[in-house]
Amino acid sequence: MSRAAVDRIAVIALNTFRESMRSKVLYSLFFFAVVLILASAFFGSVSIGDQVKVIKDFGLFSVSFLGVCYVVISGASLLHKELARKTVYNILGKAVSRWEFLFGKFLGLVMAALTMMLCMAAGLVLFVSFFDKGISIPFLVAFSFIALELILICASAIFFSAIVVTPLLIGLFTFSFFLAGRSVSLILYLVDQKFVEGFGASLLKGIYYILPHFDALNVTQQAVFDEVVAPSQ
């Protein structure tokens, strides 16, 4: 990759990042994140069990789910805005290849999603520190798994944006991709319990190996109970 290509990708990524950070969707989800994290303290106080565990569980869910929502909403409209304003034709007409444009958009979306995730993570860690004496390593490690999941979903959002024109369908496909990745263990369960047999079972096994295993990146339970995440997770 030439230095000129790197510079072009960096410019596209930074412009995408700045545009994403000015989005009203970002600040709306930030508001919901604060509300959900604060609500976790209330649910923890009225539930039977450790309040800190409830806050961690509900907080990690909020960070992950709202991060996914942001990627789905922003990713669905990312390329559509460029096409609607016809700025994409000016960009591609200035010696910028299609892969450079898409890769720059991907990096910009990743930077925006990770910035949002880190801000929510910092707020959650600070909030948990008021109720717990110390922050465990597994709890902090859980955020790295959430970040990896968001990066993969950003890639899927850009992929669907490149082949689908309608933002609604892009968002639907991206979110369905996420849900399917989180549900792959259910597919294997259906096959093992012989709810599906024959060709259907073979088809489900094929889907199981093709889909990303987002469920393997969900380490909330280990983080809540301060368990070390096994390398085979």
Domain extent listing, the chain:
3-224
Contact, 119 vs 37, CB < 8 A? no
Please tell me the distance from the alpha carbon of residue 34 to that of residue 177, in angstroms, as a whole number: 27
Residue 204: name the closest of 229, 223, 185 by CA.
185
State the virtual CA torsion across 89, 91, 94, 96 in degrees, nearest 10: -110
Across 137-161, average pLDDT: 93
Q: Which residues have a Cβ under 8 Å from the Cβ of 28 and sit 6 or more positions away?
A: none
Tens of pLDDT, residues 33-70 = 778 777 777 766 655 557 788 888 888 998 999 999 99
Going by the DSSP 8-state scheme, the letter that residue 65 receives in this structure is H
88 CB-side CA count, 13 A: 16
Q: Is the pLDDT of residue 145 over 80?
A: yes
Sign of torsion, CA 27 33 39 45? negative
Residue 104 DSSP one-character state: H
CA distance 139 to 221: 10
Is residue 88 over pLDDT 80?
Answer: no
